[in-house]
Amino acid sequence: MVALPFQTLTQFPPPAASMSPTPSCMEKHAMPQNLHGRFPSLKVRRLSRRLLLQFLGFNPILLCVYPIVAAPVPEMKDLEVIRTFKLASGVRIQDIVEGEGSEAHEGDLVEVNYVCRRSNGYFVHSTVDQFSGESKPITLPLDDNLIIKGLKEVLIGMRVGGKRRALIPPSLGYINENLKPIPKEFGPRRSLFSHTNEPLVFEVQLLKVI
């Protein structure tokens, strides 16, 4: 399927300093071993709201209806999208990097880094500190009773080293407050649960299948 014009929510560092930081190179050299060295962190960046809404199927002209309450969003560097597709459940996915490690299946326990945003591009929560860039990967069980269903569907079929971006409808998101991933801090947790009735955009990197 033809990739849509869409800018990345995050930029992942290359597997090694000597490698060129292009998606094709990352695909070629992504390995399941020593991933914390190869993928030490995600760099949380701002996303162009106009391009994000184009991906989500909205007309950017409609933005004028809503008040702007945040600082201007700087432009970002494009990453090549390998493919864009929609699952039967309604989850829309973009493959950014195809991993070459172990594949995640239903019931597995996986380690990931992720960034979650509202569909208008505003940051909600992440495993990466927005200021220091330090990442704290989390483990997630691929189980409908423990994780939001939409994110489970995104992770199933991914290989270690891979990256995906997805739009998750609210019916497949935080339908109750016990589903992971949930930030530990009060502020981000309150922000997350105040937006559970709207679509959320996740960009996720699969680090390990445990």
pLDDT tens, 81-118?
999 999 999 999 999 999 999 999 999 999 999 999 99
114 φ, ψ to 5°?
Answer: -155, 160
CB 114 within 8 A of CB 41: no
Predicted TM-score (pTM) of the model is: 0.65
The average confidence (pLDDT) of the chain is 75
> How are beta strands 163-168 and 200-209 bridged, if at all?
antiparallel
pLDDT reported for residue 37: 46
CB 49 within 8 A of CB 23: no
Cis peptide, bond prior to residue 181, ω within 30 of zero: yes
- Counting other chains too, the contacts that 152-156 makes at CB distance below 8 Å and 24 or more residues apart are 152/106, 153/87, 153/89, 153/91, 154/91, 154/93, 154/202, 154/204, 155/104, 155/110, 155/112, 155/204, 155/206, 156/104, 156/105, 156/106
CB 163 within 8 A of CB 133: no
Span 143-191, pLDDT tens digits? 999 999 999 999 999 999 999 999 999 999 999 999 999 998 898 899 8
